[in-house]
Amino acid sequence: RGGPGGHESQHYSAAENALYDFLTRRAVNTLMVYLEEFHDGPSKDWLEKFAGFKQRGDTFAKADEYLLAMMRTSTQRGTLTVSHPKGYFKRSFPFTIEPRRLAERILAIREQLALEWQRDLQLIAEENKQLNRIHLELSLNGAGTDLNKVRKRIFESDPFADNDSALCPINYRKLKTMVTHYASYAVLEKLHHADNHSYNWLSTYLKTHPVEDDEAFIRAMWHAPSLKMTNPSTVVQPFDLAGEILSERLSIAKDWTFLLTTTPTANRQLLLECLKESVGGI
């Protein structure tokens, strides 16, 4: 697949697939929060274990296969035993887990997150402007500058609002990191045949500088010295490479915003595929 709804993007499909898998993973994580809030421990524990979800962590992939497998799984029944630490009482409660129902809830949350992320990705342009403001302020006034006076609050989330998902702020930070990561490698790919010296420099930089903190990642690149190279004679300009990454992440953010609009269609296609399987099995 090329991403939600099978749409082919101008950026390589690995990024699209990663977005789609990440959207699904965060939907599962969000559902777990809701299950915990409603004291549905058995369902939360089952989700953590299903297809090794908890162990897979950031390596989670092939979202469609994961959800279809969940939809195909039969109803699970068991007994939950609760006892007092000192043995004063012991009670047992029967429980039922319906994997298909959980999968449908994940799809619903996935649509909610897709709408949130379409809104949140619009903030990348302001994030880029803020980074440029910070760099300009540091250049003019030195490292002792109070950056809190320069920074503006970009992402707003009300933890008590009904319209935001449970993990909204965390999801935004992770999404921003992900966009920066793929923007960096998109620039690297463009340099591969165009500028071998810059390609080698950026390749090394990406191995030694994690993108978890996008501000620190970009600022360190801005402060890296230029390098004069030979064979062929050229100058590697880390400052310019940082600018290219910021430009690329804005482009990817716009592209992903469109891709996320296809999430309802992708969900319907998945449900239809499951329905065809069940009808065919009758």
CA distances from 137 to 167, 219, 239, 245 (A): 33, 12, 16, 20
In the chain, what is the straight-line distance between the N-terminal and C-terminal CA atoms, in Å? 29
What's the whole-model pTM score?
0.85
Mean pLDDT value across the chain: 88
What tens digit of pLDDT does each residue of 63-111 get? 999 999 999 999 999 888 777 677 677 788 888 999 999 999 999 999 9
Neighbours of 263 (CB within 10 A): 25
Mean pLDDT over 191-198 rounds to 94
DSSP string, 19-88: HHHHHHHHHHHHHHHHHHHTT-HHHHHHHHHGGGHHHHGGG---HHHHHHHHHHSPPEEEEEEEE-TTSS
Quick one: angle between helices 168-191 and 196-208, nearest 10? 150
What tens digit of pLDDT does each residue of 206-259 get? 999 989 899 999 999 999 999 999 998 999 999 999 999 999 999 999 999 999
Neighbours of 223 (CB within 10 A): 14
- Ranges of each domain in the chain: 4-280
What pLDDT is stored for residue 182 in this prediction?
95
- Asked which of 61-70, 81-90, 127-136, 162-171 is least confident by mean pLDDT, the reply is 81-90
